[in-house]
Structure 1
């Protein structure tokens, strides 16, 4: 059978109509998909990017600050953010060899008159020795206070105790590592900062490292005792 021109035109129009409907459907689908994708992508992408940026930035700052603070404290052997509390009957000070440095931790402790400090060796070989003329050192302890010297403690967990009977400020050091700044402090009772040999004695004969460390400790002690002027 031969198709007439009229029949072919009708078929063509019908086919064209279907094509338009099909294209409209595709366009709607693409727009729908694109709109949903854009909304979802934009929303999720923004949230994710913001989350990563904010979370990463915050985390980066904290990590960076934490690392820098820790590094700074380890390098100079003291920590300005240590809180020196009220006097207690006992205290424990750890002796450490860490990251190539040598440290007492905490750097400043405070006990009552008659209180006892236990020095505990955690790593390395250290002593706890008073800055006292009996130990061949300048007097950086209260007048009339007894000297102490543990000798070298090398065994992990080894301890040495000293009871403090005289109120005041005591600086002490590790004999092998004094020159590297392994120096710390005990505050006993509620002493007046004025007139304390530990806070006022000249150390001209000591190295810059020792002088700097003791000056830093004195800042902490003065702050703890309310002598900030």
Structure 2
């Protein structure tokens, strides 16, 4: 064998070996790429979202937020002055109910502040909490007259059992202010409007008694404003 033939054969073997190495490298690279692409696909954001139910969870959160908003709204609507009688005077009815209340913070009030019934109508007071009475501002109760002339004094007596009631039927048209004896100084005062009285002829709607404490005078003034408004009587 000549040197040239030896060189040529050796060159062919080298080239064949190099080609084989390239082929093996290509196969190895292709196999790694396919096997690595499967975990990548399984961890894809969409597949993960489907598996964990992420979209459904988001919808549940939205529903929860909406429910929370509704509860918050209701809570604010159930609270406020409307619940303790500041919301105005209701329509005239044959009967009416008033609750006698002691609040958690120690406040006391009649609810509503002003009840309204037809002439001959009946008002029922119910003890919601605490111990209270309802008594007319009448000389018979050692009080100034803040009820129509010719009417009798009335007093429920002290009620101390939750749910206890007292009722009074109003035969005479007019405006009647009444109070809770142990809590009058704190402003526990209420009113009953009976029928369609002339506001100018009501002792209750005169200036509050001068000998009463400021808190009592202020509460009576507030009630007078509510009653005058309900009767369509503006201030002169």
> Alpha-carbon deviation of 1:172?
0.2
- 1:218 and 2:224 matched: yes
Report the structure number with the largest CA radius of gyration: 2
Unmatched segments (≥5 aa) in structure 2: 1-16
TM-score with structure 2 length normalisation? 0.73
Deviations 1:14-57 (A, max 9, x none): 11112223344444444xx2134469887556545555555444
**Residue-pair matches, total:** 218
CA root-mean-square deviation: 3.3
Gapped regions of structure 1 (runs ≥ 5): none
The alpha carbon displacement at 1:171 in A equals 0.5
User: What is the match of residue 31 of structure 2?
Assistant: 18
CA distance in 2 between counterparts of 1:141 and 1:189 reads 14
1:203–1:44 distance in 2 versus 1, CA, 3 Å: farther
In the alignment, is the contact (CA less than 8 A) between 1:181 and 1:213 conserved in 2? Answer: yes
TM-score, length-normalised on structure 1? 0.75
Matched, 1:108 2:114: yes
Instruction: Give the structure, 1 or 2, with the largest relative contact order (CA under 8 Å, sep 6 or more).
Output: 1
Equivalent residue for 2:180, pick from 163, 174, 180: 174
By how many angstroms is 1:187 displaced? Answer: 0.9
Q: What residue number does 1:9 align with?
A: 22
Q: 1:43 & 1:204 partners in 2: Cα distance?
A: 70
Label 1:214 to 1:20 Cα distance change in 2 as closer, same or farther (>3 A).
same
Shift of 1:182: 1.4
